[in-house]
Structure formats: C-alpha cells, structure tokens
Amino acid sequence: MKALSIVRNTIFLGVLVSGLAHAEGNKTAYIHFEKAINEVDEGVKIKAELEKEMVQKKTMLEKKQKELIELDDSLKKQAAVLSPESRQTKIADLQKKAQEFQQLVATTEQNFMKRKEEAMAPLVQKMKAIGDAMRVEKNYDAIAEGSSLISVKAELDWTSDAVRRYNQTYTKGGKSGSAKK
C-alpha cells in the first residue's frame, strides 16, 4: 500500500510540476488586427480611398432612387387620365425598374465588400508577419486576435507596437521603404 501511495504521489507531483512549467512557459500576447490595420499609414490611405469610392457609389444610388421616386410620383399624378392598359404598362415598368434598382444596390454592396477585402488582404498578411516576427523576438508561444478578448493584461497588448513596426517596415520613409502603391 505504501509503495502505491508513493507512486501516486510521484505521479501527482510530476503532473503538477509539468503543469506549472507549461503554464509558466506558455506566453501569449495579442494584437487587435482590425484596429491595427485601420491605424497603419497604408490602412488609413486605403480606408480613405474606399470611403471616397463608397461616397461615389452612394451618390449614384441616391440619384437612381430619386429617379424612381419621380417616376412613381408622375405615375400617381397621371393615373386618373391614363387608360387602364397604359397605367398597367407604366406600373409594370416602374416595378421592373424598382427590382433592377434593388439588384443594383445588392450588387454594389457585394462588389464593395469584395473590393474592401481584396484591398485589405495584403495588409492583413503583412500584419500577421509583423506579429509573428514580434512573437519570435520576444520568445512568446502565440499571438491571439485581440478583438475577442474580454480581459487581459495591458502589457500583453502589442497592437500599438505592431502598428509602429508596420509603418517602419512598409511605408515610405520607414527602414525598408517597400510600400506598395
């Protein structure tokens, strides 16, 4: 019995010590990637370009919507003097234009989201490389995406450092000057 107790205690101590060593050795920091991408110089520039595109598309959609409203108002004013066939034709035409408009809105939104994703993808890849380099330099085991963390020590937030390093590495005037235009 005593031998079994010694074996149990030895196994328990081994598990406890390895668990403590593992917990102590497992270092994880985080970078809030979305925030970082929006704060780097290249991200600010792309975001401004995308916002400009969105304003242009929104203006175009508002113009088309105004045209539809004007057609509807015109049809309502003329409804009393139009023949039933003519009224039905104009209603069908208006409905067709309204459906085309709704499809245009959906397509425009999808295309814009795709454009945004394509524009930001290289930044995300570069930021991941920056994060991985920082992880290796500081001898950490992992980098987590910070937007989903609820509570963490402030010194484990590498977002600002990652933004600074990104700008130094990838923007003109930084140490490599390898910014893409």
Residue 17 lies in a domain: no
Of 94, 93, 89, which Cα lies nearest the Cα of 72?
94
What is the rounded distance in angstroms from the CA atom of residue 133 to the CA atom of residue 123? Answer: 15
pLDDT of residue 180: 40
Residue 181 lies in a domain: no
If phi > 0 it is left, if psi is from -120 to 50 it is alpha, else beta; for residue 81 that is: alpha
| pLDDT of residue 19 exceeding 50 | no
List beta partners, residue 31.
Answer: 145
SS3 of residue 19 by DSSP: helix
| pLDDT of residue 45 exceeding 90 | yes
What is the rounded distance in angstroms from the CA atom of residue 74 to the CA atom of residue 25? Answer: 74
Residue 158 lies in a domain: yes
If you count them, how many residues does the chain have? 181
Residue 46 lies in a domain: yes
SS3 of residue 136 by DSSP: helix
SS3 of residue 142 by DSSP: strand
Residue 106 lies in a domain: yes
User: What is the pLDDT confidence band of residue 104, given thresholds at 50, 70 and 90?
Assistant: very high
Residue 110 lies in a domain: yes
User: What is the pLDDT confidence band of residue 150, given thresholds at 50, 70 and 90?
Assistant: confident
The CATH number given to whatever domain includes residue 99 is: 3.30.910
Section 110-136 average pLDDT: 94
Residue 11 lies in a domain: no
Neighbours of 19 (CB within 10 A): 10
- Of all residues in the chain, the percent with pLDDT exceeding 90 is 62
pTM reported for the whole predicted model: 0.69
Residue 15 lies in a domain: no
Q: In 3-state terms, the chain is what percent helix, strand and coil (to 5)?
A: 80, 5, 15
CB-count exposure of residue 82 (10 Å: 0-12, 13-18, 19+): middle
Q: Are the C-beta atoms of 127 and 33 separated by less than 8 Å? A: yes
Domain extent for 91 = 27-170
- Please count the structural domains in the chain: 1
